[in-house]
């Protein structure tokens, strides 16, 4: 089992940057694929990015490709989402999630077994 805690959210001006962290506890983190998702008020939770257990493969949603970068450090049991060129429409609660099938880059929410509580990101115009 994996417990996940996100941090690093906050208020930032449009065009700014933030780095979100996801700290994991549990023995399966290093073998799990890690994903980042977000949910804006009144909208469904959406996929942003995923990284395989080894870090060798990543996948991004079109909406964030070129602006966001996902990474991980298995020695620290942590995953990260570097967010650049933020826009007001990036305002949402951001979640990390773990997929025990560590070699796949799946976007579907149902494939992720473990979720964090989320961290709020607000981008002002």
Coil, helix or strand at residue 74: helix
Angle (CA) 114-123-46 rounded to 5° is: 35
Contacts 24+ apart (CB under 8 A), 58-62: 58/105, 59/105, 59/107, 61/107
pLDDT of residue 26: 82
Look at residue 61 and tell me whether its pLDDT is greater than 90. yes
pLDDT digits over 70-88, tens only?
999 999 999 999 999 999 9
Interval 27-50 mean pLDDT: 95
Looking at the chain, the whole-number percentage of residues with pLDDT higher than 90 is 94
Half-sphere exposure of 122 (CA within 13 A, CB side): 5
Q: DSSP for 82-111?
A: EE-S--GGG-EEEEEEEES-TT-----GGG
| pLDDT tens-digit readout, 41-59 | 999 999 999 999 999 999 9
Output the pLDDT for position 5: 98
């Amino acid at each position: 089992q994996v417990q996940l805690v996100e941090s690093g959210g906050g208020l930032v001006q449009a065009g700014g940057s933030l780095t979100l962290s996801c700290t994991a506890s549990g023995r399966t983190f290093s073998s799990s694929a890690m994903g980042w998702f977000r949910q804006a008020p009144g909208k469904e939770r959406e996929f942003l990015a995923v990284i395989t257990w080894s870090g060798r493969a990543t996948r991004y949603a079109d909406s964030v490709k070129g602006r966001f970068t996902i990474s991980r450090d298995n020695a620290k049991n942590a995953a990260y989402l570097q967010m650049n060129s933020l826009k007001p429409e990036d305002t949402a609660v951001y979640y990390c999630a773990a997929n025990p099938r560590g070699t796949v880059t799946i976007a579907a929410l149902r494939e992720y077994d473990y979720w964090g509580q989320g961290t709020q990101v607000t981008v002002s115009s």
